[in-house]
Amino acid sequence: MNGSGVRAVARIVAREDGRGGTSLPVLDGEGPLALRRVRASGTEARVMLVGAMSGPLGGDRFAVEADVGAGARLEVRSAAATIALPGQGKGEARYDVRLLVADRGELRWLPEPLISAGGSELYVTTRVELGGEARLVLREEQVLGRAGEEPGRLGSRLTVRIAGRTVLDQELACGPGAPGGWDGPAVLAGHRAVGQLVVVRPEFRGDPPAARPLGDCAALTPLAGPAVLVTAVAADGLRLRRVLDEALTHLG
């Protein structure tokens, strides 16, 4: 830690162990980004990201990296929501996620929501690089403000590339100082929770799900690669999770 905030990086490397399972040769978290291996399921390794302190605060720089090799299967969750808070440090906080999945690798990235508390300022980037035969389930959920409070400023960018080709690159800015209209009918329409679910499966090349609405506040959209995107808004985080869970169940 220094005058401009906390720097912390967490790294996960998952590899096929040669016995039908997945090993974790690298599981390294520092500062507020602690990693714990939890009970596995079949051939899949499971990791829990455990926040060791509040944050990110103003000026903090956090990064999480996961590298899944060929034939490995990894699920990553977090023990609790991440809360962006105002801090003594000046400037925007950053939270960068980098995910790499090789051919025949599989990653389920299912963290708890990010909550943008009043007075905070955070920019989040998630970049995913997948092999052409990789599999992915990625969920992102963002809640604007805690109960009864206005949100901080939150910017996020999600980029997904498959076999070197960009299939998704979207950006959203919300809260004080964000471009006008972010809370209007064309974007959040007054809702305070927004999320997306990205599902990548090689079999979608031959049989992609059709584009369709999912209730009143969510939609499924096929992407250019063997992938689909579900986007949703809701009044709160619980309703948002319900919508995304139902969408994932429907995809099978």
pTM across the whole model? 0.92
Residue 227 has what pLDDT? Answer: 96
Q: Tell me if 246 is assigned to some domain.
A: yes
Is the pLDDT at 224 greater than 80, yes or no?
A: yes
90 pLDDT higher than 90: no
Distance from C-alpha of 173 to C-alpha of 157, rounded to nearest angstrom: 9
Q: What is the pLDDT of residues 138-156, one digit of tens each?
A: 999 999 988 778 888 999 9
Structural domain boundaries enclosing 43: 7-251
Exposure on the CB side of residue 1, measured as CA atoms within 13 A: 11
Residue 79: how many other CB atoms lie within 10 Å: 13
Q: Which two tokens stand for residue 133?
A: 């035969």
Is residue 233 one of the residues assigned to a domain?
A: yes
pLDDT band, residue 11 (cuts 50/70/90): very high
- Over the chain, what is the mean pLDDT? 90
166 belongs to a structural domain = yes
- Our CA dihedral for 95, 163, 219, 181, rounded to 10 degrees, sits at 50
Residue 2 has a pLDDT of: 46
pLDDT band at 56 (very low <50, low <70, confident <90, very high): confident
The yes-or-no verdict on residue 252 having pLDDT over 80 is: no
Whether 1 maps to a domain, the answer reads no
Q: How many domains does the chain have?
A: 1
Q: For residue 191, name the pLDDT band (cuts at 50, 70, 90).
A: confident
The string of DSSP codes covering 79-138 is SS-EEE---SS-S-EEEEEEEEE-TT-EEEEEPPPEEE-TT-EEEEEEEEEE-TT-EEEE
pLDDT at 146: 83
Angle at 97 between CA 92 and CA 98, to 5 degrees: 135
**Angstrom distance (rounded) from CA 16 to CA 20:** 7
Residue 96 lies in a domain: yes
Residue 2 lies in a domain: no
Q: What pLDDT sits at residue 1? A: 44
